[in-house]
Amino acid sequence: MLHRIRSRLVQERTPLINQMRGLLLEFGITIPQGIGQIRKSFLEVLDTYDYALTPRSKLLLTELYEQLKEVDLKIGYYDKRVQQICRESEVCQRLTQVQGIGSLTATALVAAVGDAKLFQSGRQMAAWLGLVPRHVLAGESRFSLGISKRGDRYLRSLLIHGARAVVKRAEHKLDTMSCWIRGLKERRGYNKACVAVANKNCRILWALMAHDSCYEAR
């Protein structure tokens, strides 16, 4: 329930930010991409382009900025509650030892999966989340396509988002995992490398949950 409420707030924040950008564009004012840029410089932009805005339009834009702050506070509130649950859960604590897995992903996975032993293998859980390739048979030939994208879309997106952070950090590391990621990125591209890391993490997480074991980086 916490994840669903938080996810709905995040979805509400996106059109709000788009509206703020769009209304500024009507006055010929642009802000760099990224929610951080909105938080950091929105009020400064309003002051800088005060000559281009009417008093009423500036008031409305300021009210939108206050709405954004309110949504951010609500999301932060639910983030803290998720983090508290993660700290109180022994299973979640073990899962967060894996690279790219934070409190959001750990708690969402435990809530969605429950008993990992229901899956016979890590690959089966990865398939359940849509992180394995689709296969097509044509005569006697078998072709691998993109990932199936079946199962829990929210949980899959969390795993891939965490994998992106791992792929970025791998650029400056020399351990075996990072070398494998860099090689995969060079051969298959950034996006496929992220999906591959998410798939590998999913299998590791299954092993930790199914066997009640602790993560060993080596």
Q: How many beta carbons lie within 10 A of that of residue 131, not counting itself?
A: 27
Q: What ranges do the domains of the chain cover?
A: 2-86, 95-210
Mean per-residue pLDDT pooled into runs of 10, the chain (218 residues): 95 94 92 88 90 92 96 97 96 94 96 91 90 59 54 90 93 85 90 92 94 84
| Contact between residue 198 and residue 163 where contact means Cβ atoms under 8 Å apart | yes
Residue 89: count of CB within 10 angstroms of its CB:
16
Cα separations in angstroms, 138 against 134, 135, 141, 142, 144: 13, 10, 5, 6, 11
Tell me what pLDDT residue 33 has: 86
Please report the pLDDT score of residue 136 as a whole number: 46
Alpha-carbon gap, residue 169 to 18, rounded angstroms: 30
Confidence at residue 149, expressed as pLDDT on a 0 to 100 scale: 63
